[in-house]
Amino acid sequence: MYSVLMSTPERLIEATRELLWERGYGGTSPKAIQQHAGAGQGSMYHHFTGKPDLALAAIRRTATELRAAAEVAFGGGGTAYERIAAYLLRERDVLRGCPVGRLTMDPEVIASAELRAPVDETIEWLRGRLADIVQEGLDRGEFRASVVPEEIAAAVVATVQGGYVLARASGSPAAFDAGVRGLLSLLAPPADESASRTA
């Protein structure tokens, strides 16, 4: 399943990431990880102290990749609105859900301060980054003065995570797409304001 060039620890981490996404922490057994990674029990315990240690490495990797993917949109050119839109409209496997967001519904992850930490940190980073971008837009007169950056950031995160849930429940990405379109229409400055700024 994985490249022969990947080291055993890399295969174990990648296998754990996939299984956590598909099955959650409780459904991801050491045996399933080993089979998925094509690694023996001895190899797993040589590199990791156990399932929690390996799961933490996998969650951290997933969180790092989510931040990097979001930053591609956030760090692009354009107005604050365009950068937020780029994040909301970026390519996603909507029906699989968010690999980080789904962990918030995993009771064993939430019960562990260590496993929960990278999830909490990632969500807080995302909200903070979005709030900063909205503030940039406010400073440039791109948004209505009544806009509160932290509230918009919370709305964006809630729309994305809620959109995943609705899409999975309906078996169609249409619900996710509708939520994104609705949020963008609410966030977009009125046409007359846009025209006056560009005149």
**pTM of the full structure:** 0.87
**What is the domain-level CATH number for residue 181?**
1.10.357.10
157 part of a folded domain: yes
Q: What are the CA-CA distances from residue 48 to residues 7, 15, 44, 45, 111 (Å)? A: 14, 14, 6, 5, 21
Question: Are 39 and 133 members of one domain?
Answer: no
57 part of a folded domain: no
Question: Are 144 and 96 members of one domain?
Answer: yes
Express each pLDDT in 177-199 by its tens digit. 999 999 999 998 766 554 444 44
Question: Burial level of 20, CB count in 10 A (0-12/13-18/19+)?
Answer: buried
73 part of a folded domain: yes
Question: Are 123 and 43 members of one domain?
Answer: no
Question: Are 79 and 43 members of one domain?
Answer: no
Question: Are 36 and 72 members of one domain?
Answer: no
* pLDDT (tens place) for every residue of the chain, 199 residues total: 555 578 999 999 999 999 999 999 999 999 999 999 988 888 888 889 989 999 999 999 999 999 999 999 999 889 999 999 999 999 999 999 999 999 999 999 999 999 999 999 999 999 999 999 999 999 999 999 999 999 999 999 999 999 999 999 999 999 999 999 999 999 987 665 544 444 4
161 part of a folded domain: yes
Question: Are 151 and 74 members of one domain?
Answer: yes
Structural domain harbouring 112: 63-198
Question: Are 28 and 87 members of one domain?
Answer: no
d(C-alpha 31, C-alpha 39), whole Å: 10
71 part of a folded domain: yes
Question: Are 96 and 142 members of one domain?
Answer: yes
Question: Are 31 and 113 members of one domain?
Answer: no
Question: Are 139 and 75 members of one domain?
Answer: yes
Total domain count for the chain?
2
Question: Are 41 and 100 members of one domain?
Answer: no
Opening angle at CA 43, ends 37 and 46, nearest 5: 135
55 part of a folded domain: no
Question: Are 95 and 181 members of one domain?
Answer: yes
154 part of a folded domain: yes
Q: Which residue has the tokens 């950031």?
A: 153
* pLDDT given at position 196: 46
168 part of a folded domain: yes
**What is the domain-level CATH number for residue 13?**
1.10.10.60
d(C-alpha 92, C-alpha 35), whole Å: 27
Q: What are the CA-CA distances from residue 160 to residues 102, 107, 168, 178, 191 (Å)? A: 12, 21, 12, 11, 25
